[in-house]
């Protein structure tokens, strides 16, 4: 009986694609990156839109507050002007309300 001339194939003889990469095999990565970047861009645009809407709402709220402050200041100026005119006519100084704080009787 003769000895085999060729050794039996093992794990090292299995053909693989490792080390043989080219553009054809890497193109799927580029497509995946492209899709991921487009999704990320879409999310950021929606986030930006929502943020701009919140900023607009805050600006509107601030303008309403400023308008109300101006109205209240004008009302106070008118009221103090009337009080000063009355006190000048009567030669009486306007009295200020004195706040003694919270007082609890048992």
Split into its structural domains, the chain has a count of 1
Residue 10, pLDDT score: 81
Tell me whether residue 72 is in a domain: yes
> Could you tell me the two tokens for 66?
């400023």
Tell me whether residue 55 is in a domain: yes
Q: How many CB atoms lie within 10 A of CB 54?
A: 10
CA 2, distance to chain mean position in Å, is 81
Q: 86: Cβ–Cβ under 8 A, 6 or more apart, which residues?
A: 92
* Residues 48, 46: Cα–Cα separation, whole Å: 5
Q: Is the dihedral of CA 15, 21, 22, 27 positive or negative?
A: positive
* Residues 72, 88: Cα–Cα separation, whole Å: 24
* Residues 66, 102: Cα–Cα separation, whole Å: 31
Tell me whether residue 102 is in a domain: no
Supply the range of the domain harboring residue 52: 27-90
Q: Tens place of pLDDT for every residue, the chain, 106 residues?
A: 566 677 788 878 788 766 666 666 678 888 999 999 999 999 999 999 999 999 999 999 999 999 999 999 988 888 887 767 776 766 655 555 556 666 777 6
Residue 41, pLDDT score: 98
Q: What is the value of pTM for the model shown?
A: 0.48
Tell me whether residue 104 is in a domain: no
Residue 50, pLDDT score: 98
């Amino acid at each position: 009986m003769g000895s085999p001339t060729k050794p039996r194939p093992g794990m090292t003889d299995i053909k693989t694609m490792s080390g043989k990469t080219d553009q054809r095999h890497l193109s799927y990565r580029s497509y995946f990156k492209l899709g991921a970047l487009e999704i990320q861009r879409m999310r950021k645009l929606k986030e930006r839109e929502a943020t701009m809407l919140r900023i607009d709402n805050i600006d509107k709220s601030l303008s309403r507050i400023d308008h109300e402050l101006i109205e209240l200041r004008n009302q106070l100026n008118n009221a103090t002007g009337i009080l000063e005119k009355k006190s000048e006519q009567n030669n009486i100084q306007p009295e200020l309300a004195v706040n003694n704080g919270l007082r609890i009787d048992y």
